[in-house]
A and B are shown apart, each in its own frame.
Chain A
Amino acid sequence: MRLNLKIWRQKDANSKGQMVDYTIKGVEGDMSFLEMLDVLNEELINKGEEPVHFDHDCREGICGACSLQINGEPHGPDRLVTTCQLHMRKFNDGDTIVIEPFRATAFPVIKDLVVDRSAFDRIQQAGGYISVNTSGNTVDANATPIEKEKADDSFYAATCIGCGACVAACKNASAMLFTSAKVSQFALLPQGRVEATERVQNMVRQMDLEGFGNCTNTGACEVECPKGISLENIARMNREYLNATVKG
């Protein structure tokens, strides 16, 4: 198929970017979205032009590196997939596809479609861990009995790959779904309860410091999240935070 692409091109963090039009032919339905961009880049390189920069790594939906706002939605129109898992058969011959970087003040553009998502790392570093002595005498986590339901919910929260689609989708550029998934995966487990009070306070403080917007419960994040992280996690984080505040 033949597609018209409108792609955000930006030389570096400090330049002003703009949308550039490209036409691409011979796109197959079973190509992934990133493979389609690979084809475009090959053409550009052959012509001696600068290829379009975009993030990717695993190309199988597990690393969280790929991003892209495709026709106004993060990871494109399909549900529960990342951009690397999005197939070109979701588009039709002659379609125009608008491709932009994830937009948030906390995710500045580095080049073209690549944004700096290290704000997520800093939120994680503020409390997304448990303190365990690992010097040779670590107790097997399975030795602690945990209710099945809680273990499952914790696992689902832990499937968040930190891609940032929740922020990109949210009209407020709020990072609550990501942060709440990271809070929840520990809050539900006995090992995580030990540092629960400081964890939620520190992670929420860092989230606010990074300049993400405030959640207004539109639910866009949950719909666009490639891992199906639920809004229940945000409610849990709100409860955790209120409890922590009352406790001091």
Chain B
Amino acid sequence: MSGLVKSSIARKVVMALSGLFLVFFLAQHFTINITSVLAPDTFNEWSHFMGYNGVVQFILQPILIAGVIVHFVMGIGLEIRNNKARAVKYKKYNGGANASWMSRNMIITGLVVLAFLGLHFYDFWIHEMDYKYIAGNAEDPTRYYAETVEKFEPFWRTVIYVISFVLLALHLWHGFASSFQSMGVNNKYSPAIQTFTKIYAIVIPLGFIFIALYHHFNPITH
């Protein structure tokens, strides 16, 4: 089994599995977020559950963070290794002739999404930790909706969120279907996987953009 962590193919599979896990998580995250537009009470209820349920907090959340870290660390390692594999670069390299921009620039889109995750963590996760454990506030199952809408009040933050989601879409456009190829799936279902990837890569980020813009333009009036 030791070959599984050292070989190029094994790393490909780890990249694919962690990526698919994050894709799945994204759909779940979106499902909760869209309730902030459709049904604020449900949003409060679900957010409270996510914030105080032991399984979510102490099992699923660490798994998610580990998933992000694995995907990121493997991605950086991949980039470094691949750079070394062509130490002397071409003077003229026509990459656009044979591969999409998305497939060639996963490191760029990935790093932007990672930087965004930093801000996102600061906005919501750090805030949550502070609220619960440092300030030691009591449980308040009604606070989430207002807190979320308030976050999107500043124009700069809304813009950053929107740009990040566009980059996320580009990342998903290549990454989602690509993970199936990495795991050895290339058969009669592959065209369907490609189509689903494209729909997913557009619909989910567009949905997140809609939510951000919606809250920005519909602030809570005090």
Among B1, B84, B86, the most chain A Cβ lie within 10 Å of the Cβ of B86
Minimum CB–CB distance from A88 to chain B (whole Å) comes to 19
Contact B97 A72 (CB under 8 A): yes
Instruction: Count residues of chain A with CB under 8 A from any CB of chain B.
Output: 50
CA distance A212 to B86 in the complex (A): 8
Q: Which A residues are in CB contact (< 8 Å) with B186?
A: 231-232, 234-236
Contact A174 B103 (CB under 8 A): no
Contact A235 B181 (CB under 8 A): yes
Contact B8 A207 (CB under 8 A): yes
Q: Does A27 contact B (CB under 8 A)?
A: no
CA distance A77 to B94 in the complex (A): 10
Main secondary structure of the interface of A (DSSP, over half): mixed
CA distance A235 to B182 in the complex (A): 7
Q: Does B95 contact A (CB under 8 A)?
A: yes
Q: Which A residues are in CB contact (< 8 Å) with B99?
A: 171, 218-220, 223
Q: Does B192 contact A (CB under 8 A)?
A: no
Q: Does A241 contact B (CB under 8 A)?
A: yes
CB neighbors of A among B85-126 (8 A): 85-95, 97-100, 103-104, 106
CB neighbors of B among A52-77 (8 A): 69, 71-73, 77
Contact A105 B181 (CB under 8 A): no
Among A201, A217, A231, A245, the most chain B Cβ lie within 10 Å of the Cβ of A217
Interface string of B142-182 (1 = CB under 8 A from A): 00000000000000000000000000000000100010011
CB neighbors of B among A160-196 (8 A): 169, 171-174, 176
Minimum CB–CB distance from A2 to chain B (whole Å) comes to 20
Surface stretch bound by B, among A34-42, A96-104, A137-145, A147-155: A96-104
Q: Does B82 contact A (CB under 8 A)?
A: yes
Q: Which A residues are in CB contact (< 8 Å) with B183?
A: 238, 242
Contact A216 B98 (CB under 8 A): no
Contact A205 B78 (CB under 8 A): no
Among A71, A104, A219, point to the contact of B94 (Cβ < 8 A). A71
Surface stretch bound by A, among B9-17, B32-40, B127-135, B204-212: B9-17
Q: Does A215 contact B (CB under 8 A)?
A: yes
Among A173, A205, A232, A239, point to the contact of B82 (Cβ < 8 A). A173
